[in-house]
């Protein structure tokens, strides 16, 4: 199936929110989704967007998405591309859609002079871990994610 990857527009906000909810359902995290169309529109399509989104289409149908942003590596003294979310609809899995999304982002990372591209994967998600390893990604077993959110974050405001 030929896959077209395109940059998302503000008109795609309902689709993006649907993909986010579908991803959260797959990851058993749907109750944690508080994103709304308004908050996505404000944070992704303002004058200074916090992140960018690409949409994968197969035969004109939305098949998946990737949401990413740029960070910085002090060790490399180079920018990096961080993939926050990657999701492919179940009916499009196993046909190269996820690979097309990742390769598209790798091209963006290379064009921007990034020294690395990173993302996280849930411990239990063996299909995703196998897929990433097959593409040459290394799983960093000795690193853990730390996170401040909600009251723990706002208490320092």
Q: Nearest CA to 40 among 22, 20, 24?
A: 20
The secondary structure of 65-102 as a DSSP string is EEEEEEEEETTTTEEEEEEEEEEE-GGGTTTTHHHHHH
What are the residues whose beta carbons fall under 8 Å from the beta carbon of 9, sequence distance 6 or more? 45
- From residue 28, alpha-carbon distances to 2, 24, 97 in Å are 30, 6, 22
**Residue tagged active-site, from 26, 68, 82, 132:** 132
Known active-site residue 132 = yes
Q: Which residue has the tokens 């961080």?
A: 82
The catalytic site residues sit at 132
């Amino acid at each position: 199936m030929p896959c077209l990857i395109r940059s998302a527009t503000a008109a795609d906000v309902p689709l993006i929110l649907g993909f986010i909810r579908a991803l959260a359902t797959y990851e058993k995290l749907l109750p944690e989704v508080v994103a709304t169309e308004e908050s996505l529109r404000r944070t992704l399509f303002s004058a200074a967007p916090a992140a960018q989104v690409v949409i994968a289409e197969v035969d004109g149908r939305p098949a998946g998405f990737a949401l990413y942003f740029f960070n910085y590596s002090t060790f490399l003294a180079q920018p990096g591309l961080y993939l926050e979310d990657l999701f492919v609809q179940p009916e499009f899995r196993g046909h190269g859609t996820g690979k097309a999304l990742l390769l598209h982002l790798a091209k963006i990372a290379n064009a921007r002079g990034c020294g690395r591209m990173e993302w996280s994967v849930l411990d239990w998600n063996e299909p995703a871990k196998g897929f990433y390893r097959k593409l040459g990604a290394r799983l960093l077993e000795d690193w853990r994610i730390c996170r401040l959110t909600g009251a723990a974050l706002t208490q320092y405001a």
